[in-house]
Chains A and B, each alone.
Chain A
């Protein structure tokens, strides 16, 4: 019962978005822009693939790396350095992503590699921070109870710390992936390819069809990625520690 109601709740904004998208689509069709956009169909398919590689590679490496580093920083033996490391992470996070990409280009030249590395760093940091803070926020008496019952450090991490931090970790992943998908078009500026090519060229040429041919798939991708991670957060975080499912 709860689950069905909750699913409805979390899907509702996406239905509204779908409605808006349909209205926009009809408007595009009526104004003839849709035909302009579809002229770039081949480019769209090619660039979407490139774009997905940028987002997919940098995003998945960031999730794996960020959660791993976050866990590592939260271990007792790291306590002396962890706060300093998190401060450094916060500082690097505050550097604008465009500047990060520019720095990567200086270090690694142009092409997909510096773009992926730049996106990776931008995505990594919020995940590290949330994983670390999420694990640290697990009440110490839970860890004490777990130790007292005879769980080893690995079991405590896997069965107590991570599940109880998972909601916060997912929040970090969602934020990070929004940054990732939002920044990916800029990768074009350092030769990383992707849908930014249509957007930026369209802007330069004042060619609205071309611009939208890049912008619309980018927007759809952002919504889809957020929807997928939102659903994952809803279903994978245990009900007892999932504010979305407690009501």
Chain B
């Protein structure tokens, strides 16, 4: 869906040319979320901004749905790509409805259609349309404003979203909530998303693929589980942190390591896991209870299997499998 081919950006500086992005190539499939991760100044934001041509590439190509974006008028290109920034950038002179209607208006939608679309999107983002449509941005909380920012990016239902640290300015509680909502929404919408972050936890949570940048170069491009299990080098290992095994627990579902048992089989009593829990809960129970196995129960409380310490260890030793 989005393919970068040897994308390079060089800036002139008093100390001579400065390569901000150095021959970066990768491909993101339709419907996937790719998180561009790295310390500040690593070229991730510049890479993102080259995709909607806010920054002109020095060399290299970008293909969206097979089309070379160099051949498209940048202004028209941008109208077809959702864009969310950290500072949100809601226009304070416009109401929420007008903000969401900016791109639809550029595309010539009628006032009535714009308003209906704004209502739809607010409802999708769990903001009551009747209460929020006619508010101004200065009447919103940070979390509400960022939801409106996302709604605005989705206004004309673009297949591609670019998000530049969209949730970085929110407090941790709000950030978790809006990330969860966003994931739920993404499961339904299946947009192709490029998402800049400097937060490994956010990346692990949101990404299908992680692209790790260092000094303008792409050092690893892989699924989150692979990045955590097999960092490409010392730099990536340090960046993802020494607790990377703990972070992996979030990525693995109980059902992946569960041994099915026949109904009614005798197992130790105690708390149970659900097949859709992630392994963080299993690890917590092992630590709290001791023991070698925990029962798994389905929504009706029927025991359907068990998770053993050995199975968890085996899964952590062998990355991959269904992500």
Chain A interface (Cβ < 8 Å from any Cβ of B): 139, 141-142, 144-152, 155, 159-160, 163-164, 166, 238-241, 246
A150–B106 touching, CB < 8 Å: yes
B87 within 8 A of A: yes
Q: What 9 A-B pairs come out closest when comparing CB atoms?
A: A145-B89, A240-B136, A150-B79, A150-B78, A163-B93, A148-B83, A141-B87, A238-B93, A240-B92
A144-B54, A163-B93 are contacts. A139–B75 as well, Cβ < 8 Å?
no
Interface string of B95-125 (1 = CB under 8 A from A): 1000000110010000000000000000000
Closest to B152 in A: A149
A179–B30 Cα distance when bound, in Å, is 62
A239–B136 touching, CB < 8 Å: yes
Other-chain contact of B92, A146, A155, A164 (Cβ < 8 Å): A164
Closest to B138 in A: A240
Other-chain contact of A146, B77, B88, B91, B162 (Cβ < 8 Å): B91
A148-B78, A150-B78, A150-B79 are contacts. A142–B89 as well, Cβ < 8 Å?
yes
Other-chain contact of B85, A141, A155, A164, A240 (Cβ < 8 Å): A141
B85–A144 touching, CB < 8 Å: yes
A43–B94 Cα distance when bound, in Å, is 49
| Chain A residues in 8 Å Cβ range of B85 | 141, 144-145, 148
Shortest beta-carbon distance, B42 to chain A, in Å?
A: 20
| Chain A residues in 8 Å Cβ range of B162 | 148
B106–A147 touching, CB < 8 Å: no
| Chain B residues in 8 Å Cβ range of A240 | 92-95, 136-138
B103–A149 touching, CB < 8 Å: yes
Other-chain contact of A151, B52, B106, B138 (Cβ < 8 Å): B106
Shortest beta-carbon distance, B77 to chain A, in Å?
A: 8
Beyond the given pairs A149-B102, A151-B106, 7 more chain A to chain B contacts, judged by CB atoms under 8 angstroms and listed by A's residue number, are: A145-B88, A149-B106, A150-B75, A150-B79, A150-B80, A155-B106, A240-B92
A148–B152 Cα distance when bound, in Å, is 12
Closest to B86 in A: A141
A134–B164 Cα distance when bound, in Å, is 27
Closest to A148 in B: B83
B283 within 8 A of A: no
A164–B92 Cα distance when bound, in Å, is 7
A148–B92 touching, CB < 8 Å: no
Within 8 A of A (CB), among B231-278: none
| Chain A residues in 8 Å Cβ range of B323 | none
A234–B195 Cα distance when bound, in Å, is 41
| Chain A residues in 8 Å Cβ range of B103 | 149-150
A240–B135 Cα distance when bound, in Å, is 8
Other-chain contact of A147, B78, B91, B92, B95 (Cβ < 8 Å): B78
Interface residues on B, range: 20 to 34
Shortest beta-carbon distance, B103 to chain A, in Å?
A: 5
B189 within 8 A of A: no
B93–A148 touching, CB < 8 Å: no
Other-chain contact of A141, B78, B89, B93 (Cβ < 8 Å): B89
| Chain A residues in 8 Å Cβ range of B177 | none
Shortest beta-carbon distance, A40 to chain B, in Å?
A: 48
A160–B91 touching, CB < 8 Å: yes
Other-chain contact of A149, B78, B94, B136, B137 (Cβ < 8 Å): B78
A147–B93 touching, CB < 8 Å: no
A141-B85, A149-B79, A152-B75 are contacts. A164–B93 as well, Cβ < 8 Å?
yes
| Chain A residues in 8 Å Cβ range of B136 | 238-240
Q: List 26 A-B contacts (CB under 8 A).
A: A139-B87, A141-B89, A142-B89, A144-B89, A145-B83, A145-B87, A146-B91, A147-B78, A148-B83, A149-B79, A149-B106, A149-B152, A151-B75, A151-B106, A152-B75, A159-B91, A159-B102, A160-B91, A160-B93, A163-B94, A164-B92, A164-B93, A166-B93, A238-B93, A239-B136, A240-B136
A163–B90 Cα distance when bound, in Å, is 13
Shortest beta-carbon distance, B292 to chain A, in Å?
A: 54
| Chain A residues in 8 Å Cβ range of B77 | 150
| Chain B residues in 8 Å Cβ range of A164 | 91-93
| Chain A residues in 8 Å Cβ range of B89 | 141-142, 144-146
Shortest beta-carbon distance, A62 to chain B, in Å?
A: 25
Shortest beta-carbon distance, A163 to chain B, in Å?
A: 4
A141–B90 Cα distance when bound, in Å, is 9
A219–B93 Cα distance when bound, in Å, is 35
| Chain B residues in 8 Å Cβ range of A160 | 91, 93
| Chain A residues in 8 Å Cβ range of B52 | 148
A145–B136 Cα distance when bound, in Å, is 17
| Chain B residues in 8 Å Cβ range of A150 | 75-80, 103, 106
**Candidate in A139, A144, A152, A163 with the most chain B CB atoms within 10 angstroms:** A144
Interface string of B55-98 (1 = CB under 8 A from A): 00000000000000000000111111001010111111111000
A149–B95 touching, CB < 8 Å: no
Shortest beta-carbon distance, A166 to chain B, in Å?
A: 8
A155–B88 Cα distance when bound, in Å, is 19
**Candidate in B76, B92, B138 with the most chain A CB atoms within 10 angstroms:** B92
| Chain A residues in 8 Å Cβ range of B138 | 240, 246
